[in-house]
Structure formats: C-alpha cells, structure tokens
Structure 1
Amino acid sequence: MLRHWHEAVPNDRMAHLLKDTMRAFDRSLRARLARHGVQMGHWVYLRILWERDGLTKRELSMEAGVAEPTTFIALRAMESLGYVRLEQRADNRKNVYVHLTDEGRQLKGVLVPLAEEVNAIALQGVPEAEAAAARRTLLTMLDNLSRDEAQGD
C-alpha cells in the first residue's frame, strides 16, 4: 500500500489517501483496544459518553453517526460487559438513557492513552507547524463537505 501512494499514484485523489490513512489509524487503535478486550464499536460510544454522560440512545446514535438499532445492539453488549447502564425514566418510558458505570468511566484512563499513542506514532517526523496546518486543512475540508451535504438536502 505504501508503495502505491509514494510511487504508483502519488497524485491520486485526496479521498483515497484519507481513506487509506484512516484505515491505518483504525487498525492500529483496534489492535491496542483488543489487548484490553474493548471493541472498536464500543470505543466510539465510550468517547462520546466520557464527554456527555446520560444521553438518550437516540442522541448517542446521532452523535456517533450510527443507526439506532446498531447502537442499541452495541449498548446491550456494553451493558453486559459492565461499561454502561441503560435506564428508562418513569416520566418518559419512550427514551432510553445511557449512563457510564464506574468501570466504563475508568476505561477512559486506560484507553485514551492508547489513542494518543496512535496519534503520536502517526505524527512521528511531522513538524508541529505542519501537523497544525494539516489539522486546519482537514477541518476546512470537513466544513466544506458538510455544507455541500446540507445544500444537497
């Protein structure tokens, strides 16, 4: 794959480069999470809940960009692992609220350093100013594509 990017098609589309880079990030983090028995799908939800605990299942699905049935399956598995507690309130039986357990909260201290390690590996040899410029560029690209998507709706 690396030869492909450096030699065969060095000027290929940005989307392909980003996709392959994301896959490499994903593989690296997935391997580290697996050593702690955590699935990548659970990582997505844990990251959100560490910032905003107590979301509804629907809110969590929207934040993660995942369909509600998929989220519900993951949450049931996370509940059985002791990471989250699912709760319905007497005043609103329709909504399912998702709360981290103590074990789910404690995973943050174990797992976040793994993601930071992956980022550090990816940025080895990249000057700080170039990393900051890449981040600004990617955010601009994301903003542009989000606007384009909204205009298409």
Structure 2
Amino acid sequence: MTSHDDPPEFPLELDQQLCFALYSTSLAMTKAYKPLLEQLGLTYPQYLAMLVLWESDDLTVKEIATRLSLDSATMTPLLKRLEAQGYVERVRGVEDERQVHIRLTDAGRELKQSARDIPAEIYCASGSDIDAMLRLRGDLVRLRMSLNEYLDR
C-alpha cells in the first residue's frame, strides 16, 4: 500500500469485489459487441486486432500482441483466421524471417467503414453520458497502469 494508514477492511462477498465488477462488466460488454460484430463476421478478439491495424497498418505479430496485452501464440490463430477471411495478409520479414508482418488487404481497409457505427452503438447501450464514459475509461486505464506497475515490481 502507498498509504501509511491501516488498510480498510474489505468484505469477502462476491458483489463487493472490484475484480468481479470488472469481470462481469467485461463479459456484458463482450456480449453487447457480439451481434454487432457477427454482422461483420468478426469475433471480439479479431475486432480488437483490426482496430490496432486500422490505427497502424503493417505491424509484426509481436507488436499487435503487445498492444492487446496478449502473447504472440494467442495471436497467430486469430490472425490466420483474419487472413482466411481476406482481411489481412501475413508476410515474412525480409531482414528477419522469424518476424511475421500483418498487413491489411483492401477488404480489411474497407471493413473499417462497416465498423464505423459500432462505438456509437455500444455508447448507446451503456446508458451513460459521454463525460461519464470518458471518466470511466480514464479511471480504468489508470487502474490497469497501477496494476501493471505493481506486477512489474
């Protein structure tokens, strides 16, 4: 703990746990995305990978995995499925053949236009106002950073 005060007493009840609130909310969020992504033929992890590539095309598998906080072994089958769907191509590195670069195809770039309304749909589903959503996102990013700092000690 960073404080010199005695830590507060936390009850061991499921509904009182921050971890469960985050976990169950994450499940609900993924379920809310599911019908929207099914229209595009994407799973939620594939959608996240496409978001990364729409931001910055031609990344290595490792770079995408790092951005998504996943390991490269998890990314490979996901990216192979995106390649089979025609959204990305996997290209061996010229300087280092162990590196695999992922590049959007024309179809992958066009898919971005089809996905444009998804964030607004999720925002509407949240029932919150934009300021509350932005604050929550900021709080969650800070929490993730603090937890990662704690784990890196």
Q: Same fold (TM over 0.5)?
A: yes
Once the two structures are superposed, the pairs formed by residues 1-153 of structure 1 within 5 Å of their partners are 12-122=16-126, 124=127, 126-151=128-153
Higher mean displacement: 15-24 or 111-120: 111-120
Partners of 1:18 and 1:132 in 2: how far apart? 16
Question: Does structure 1 conserve the Cα–Cα contact (< 8 Å) formed by 2:87 and 2:105?
Answer: yes
| Alignment coverage as a number of residue pairs | 141
Q: Give % identity.
A: 21
RMSD: 2.1
TM-score, length-scaled by structure 2: 0.80
Question: Does structure 2 conserve the Cα–Cα contact (< 8 Å) formed by 1:29 and 1:115?
Answer: no
Please state how far the C-alpha of 1:55 moved relative to its aligned partner: 0.8
Where 1:45 maps in the other structure, the secondary structure is helix
What is the identity, as a one-letter code, of the residue corresponding to 1:113?
D
Give the ranges of 4+ consecutive aligned residues of structure 1 lying more than 6 Å apart after TM superposition.
Answer: none
Structure number with higher helix proportion: 1
Gaps (5+ residues) in structure 1? 1-8
Please state how far the C-alpha of 1:45 moved relative to its aligned partner: 0.8
Gaps (5+ residues) in structure 2? 1-12
Higher mean displacement: 83-92 or 10-19: 10-19
Question: Does structure 1 conserve the Cα–Cα contact (< 8 Å) formed by 2:14 and 2:20?
Answer: no
What is the identity, as a one-letter code, of the residue corresponding to 1:104?
G
TM-score, length-scaled by structure 1: 0.80
Question: Structure 1 residues 131 and 41 mapped into 2: Cα distance closer, same or farther (>3 Å)?
Answer: closer
Partners of 1:149 and 1:112 in 2: how far apart? 35
Partners of 2:96 and 2:119 in 1: how far apart? 37
